[in-house]
Amino acid sequence: MALSASLRSIKKFFAKDTAEPGIRGAGANSKADFGDPITNTDLLFAVKREPVAHRVVFAVAHDIFDNWFSIDVVGEKPDTRFNDQIQGILEDLNAKSVFTEMAVYERLFGTAIIVVGFSDYGDDLSKPVKDPQSVEDIVAYSPLEFIVQSSDEDKDPQSPRFGLPEFYTLYQDGKRVRVHYSRVIHFATRLLDHPYMGLSVLEPIYDDLVLLRNIRWGLGQTIVRYGSGFPDITLKGRNAKQIDDFILSKQMETVNARTYFVHSDNEQLEFKGIGGVTLDPEKYYVPIMESISAGAGIPMAILRGAQAGTLAGSEVNEREYFKIISDAQSRYEPGIRALIDMLIECGQVRWFYNVPRKYRISWGGGFEVNERDRALTQLSIAQAMNVRSNWMTINEIRASMEPPLEPLPSPQGDVILGLEKLQQKLMQHV
């Protein structure tokens, strides 16, 4: 009897509240101060309330998977059958959305998992995958929705999985579902002081986010308190008791620049500001943003949201940024390969080729070169080919192109153009 795990229903069942005890929405008493230890509560608070944190987590996660990827068979002539099969199944599994959600979790909390729902002959989710017939669904989970208990780690020093999880526990409000590792794809691309729980991208920049948040708060308070000046009231001829009685009457509590004050000659009201002596926040804001940029590996112009063409060197910033995206993509590739291999093992994807099963993941490009640079690149390629023609055959040049071109039949493909030109010159002088 086949077992079909409805993981989406499990996810929906667990979605009533966050799994970590005590999380009921972060506030002033639950976020870490400068230099304090950081919890998942603090990370959750930061990504919800800090624009830079949201950009570093969400925007980058979407940029990683927005242009998706194709699967190319290694060592074969261009053939899209394998890729077409896989893309059709991945689309049915809503894989792009699931992997993007996983990337958000993994970047925010340092770790995320995708639980794979097989139609197989295992007794339940806690048992290893047995004779899988198909992959039915995939669902991403964050550390707020799963734990690995110490007793569920591999304790055998001779095991290749020593120290890694044997079981994951999906849990909520005391209700738990145990899942065997063969049904899980584990993502943690920034391992440091733990064998399988990674580092959040926000942790190296969290103190700077705290500083930036306090600067913004202080700026807001400055505008509220002093932006239109504060009321300075003069009560002529009044003694201390009369002044106290006037204060206690609270008749001036609502006075501001948009109201009015009616008074006799004995009362006088002025709005006094601080005369332009406030500190320039830009001088303090920029060093913090530079520190965040260094910690996140994202150019400051990208963090600020500058668009291409709006500032000098914007294309340099974009190139630098998409190097970060490319690096992140390569770190997620093992998990993508794990899913593709599962589809092949289940027989959902057919291998058409009489060669070992080798394929590569080709990511869609993020950075787009402008027309001028594209033309210069093409000119450089043409010049390089012209130089190579002095000692390489036509077929060798065609094979070195990207993508490689089919060889010409002999003797045309065996010609070295440079020698042909030299011979023609020699014949002209004879």
Strands 167-172 and 146-147: antiparallel
pLDDT at position 262 is 64
pLDDT at position 31 is 58
The beta-strand segments (E) located in 39-96 are: 69-73
What's the pTM?
Answer: 0.73
pLDDT at position 25 is 35
Q: Cα–Cα distance between 83 and 144 in angstroms, integer?
A: 34
Instruction: List all residues 6 or more positions away from 42 whose beta carbon is below 8 Å from its beta carbon.
Output: 26, 30, 31, 32, 206
pLDDT averaged per 10 residues, the chain (length 430): 53 50 40 76 91 93 94 80 93 96 97 95 89 94 94 94 95 82 97 95 92 82 66 80 84 68 69 59 84 90 63 65 91 96 91 81 69 67 78 81 79 77 69
Instruction: List all residues 6 or more positions away from 330 whose beta carbon is below 8 Å from its beta carbon.
Output: none
pLDDT at position 302 is 85
pLDDT at position 74 is 83
Question: How far from 327 is each of 55, 113, 114, 194, 243, CA to CA, in Å?
Answer: 18, 20, 20, 21, 68
Q: In 10 A of CB 73, how many CB atoms?
A: 20
